[in-house]
Every structure is written in structure tokens, then in C-alpha cells.
Homo-oligomer: A and B are copies of this chain.
Amino acid sequence: MENINLSLAQVHDLAVRVLTTNGMDADHAAAIARVITAGQRDECHSHGIYRLIVCVKSLREGKLNGHARPVTQDVSAAVVRVNADFGYSQLAFEMGLPLLVEKARQIGIAALAINDCFHFSALWPEVEAIASTGLAALAMTPSHSWVAPAGGTKPVFGTNPIAFAWPREGLEPFVFDFATSAIARGDIELHRRTDQAIPLGWAVDNFGRPTTDPVAALQGAMLTFGGHKGSALAAMVELIAGPLIGDLTSLESQKFDAGVGATPCHGELILAFNPAILGGARASTGAKHAESMFDAIVGQGARLPSQRRFDARVRSATRGVEVPAQLYNDIMALVKD
């Protein structure tokens, strides 16, 4: 299939144009355009311009508020809350970020709780934004109940990603961002669309039997990664990015969706850690020990988690990004005059 080359500025402008002409306020559209451009730039294709299709669908179906006005609350010395007002999470995150960073700088650790947000993006743009200020970051969010607990066969958990970033002086941060499910739901959908079998271990069918059939998997339940340990982590994500911040579990989010199949709506928890305060007089020694550990990983030929993304980022900065012509046309067709 033919590709089209776009500069990062063109990707950003395309996203803004698609979203604003479909009735989204300019500040929301700009915040979403930034993460979509970052996804495309890092060759995370499922988090690039492809997501605009889902955004526009959610806007047109009226499930999502394109005019949402997030409200920031300075809860305590350590906690910021942003109520996203049932808009997408990006603008809420950007509004809460400065206060989160200020609090963590002052007292060593702080939490940003985002409530009532629709969540469609990867978490790495958020933990990277925090790491760029010299802080470490941990972020989690539930989704819709698609994943069975270890020892069970019925969906309870979401795909429940965990993302972490550690700042490195003069280098890209150490970053990971992964689902606690065995695989992303989109990977099963991709197998369904191309009529391919899925590996055992990804899912069970509606009767709880291991399955290689993607259709049966989507009707049954996905499995967690790493057996009972992954299942325990998935439960933790539910609890601390849901009930802890007074928000929904994936089960409750699924109910809230009421069969529409929109982007999951729930909460998100983001923690920021300041090594200067938590490490105190030994902070700079700590940073050196971290670098020795990275050297020991890379030095034996293993890879740091986000290396592929960072390599793509360097390429995209000079060469722009390649987008399938069909996808580009589909997205241009979403622009309203």
C-alpha cells in the first residue's frame, strides 16, 4: 500500500483540524493533537492519527463532551485533583501537571488524580512529561472489564496499563508502559480482521476454555500477563486508579458505557517522585547507581524498554512520518467544512 509522508507539524495540524471541525474546543483538540503527534512520531501506530477515527466517532455519538471544562482542585500539600468533566484526559493532565510537579519538588512525592475522564491514549507521554522535569513518575488507569483474574474465566479487569519513567541527565528517560493483560485488545481485533488464529495464553472463550479463535476470545475473556502475579497487579491498578481516587473500576466503567462501545470513562492516578528530596544527601550517588544498572543491561546486549520508540523519534524528527494513503484519506474525510 502507498504511503504519504507528513511532517510532525502536518500531523499536529491534521489532528487539530479533524477534531475542531467535529465540534471539539480548541484547547482539547490541541492537547490531543500533541499526544497523537507523539504516538505517530514514535511509530506507535495504534496511538497515532489512527486514533482520530475513534475520537470523531465518540464525539459524533455524543458520549464525549467536546466542550468539557476540567476543574483543578488543590486538595492538599501532596494531592492535585482534576475533574475532566467527561472530556478526554489530555487537557486535564496538562492542567494538573504544573501543580503536581510543584508539589513533588517541594515535598518529595505527590499525586495527580484525574476523575471522570475518557481515556484512549498511551501513558508514556504523561510519565515522560514528568521525567522531563527531573522527577520520576508512575501512572495507571483501568479500562473496560475484558480480562479474567487468574484462576477465573469471566472478565473483571481492564487491560490496566502501568507506566513508569526515570529521569536521566542529558539522556532520554528510562520508560516503560505496558498493559497488565497478556496482549493489547487491539491485537486480538487485528487477528479477527485478518482472520488469523491467536496464540494460546491470550484469552479464553465464553465457556472458559483456552482459545485460538479471535472471535471467541473477544466474546470470552482476555488473560493477564504473568499468571497470578500479573493478575494481582491488574487488581492493584483497578484499586488505586479507581476506588482509591473515588472513581470507577473497569466493571463499573463497562456498565457506564451501556453497550455503546465508546472510549472507557473512569479515572487515572499519576504519582511524581523527587529524587532530590527522597534521596537527600545521597541523591547524586543514587543517580550514578541507576546509570550503572542501565550500563549492566545495555552492556550485555539487552534493550531498555522504550529504545525502539526513541530510535523512531530520532528518525521522525528529520524525515517526518509515513502514513498509509488509505488511512490518510479516511481521516481527511472526517474533516468537516
Contacts and interface: CB of A to CB of B under 8 A. Distances in A.
Interface stretch (A20-28, A43-51, A293-301): A293-301
A146 interface: no
A229 interface: yes
A52 interface: no
A68 interface: no
Interface string A263-283: 000000101010101111111
A238 interface: yes
B277 A79 contact: yes
A297 B149 contact: yes
A293 B238 contact: yes
Interface in A75-124: 75-79, 81, 106-111, 113, 115
A199 interface: no
A77 B103 CA distance: 10
A236 interface: yes
Tell me the interface secondary structure of chain A in the complex. Answer: mixed
Contacts of A283: 246
Contact of A244 (B136, B230, B301): B136
A75 B153 CA distance: 46
A286 B267 CA distance: 11
Contacts of A138: 236, 240
Interface string A215-241: 000000000011111101101101110
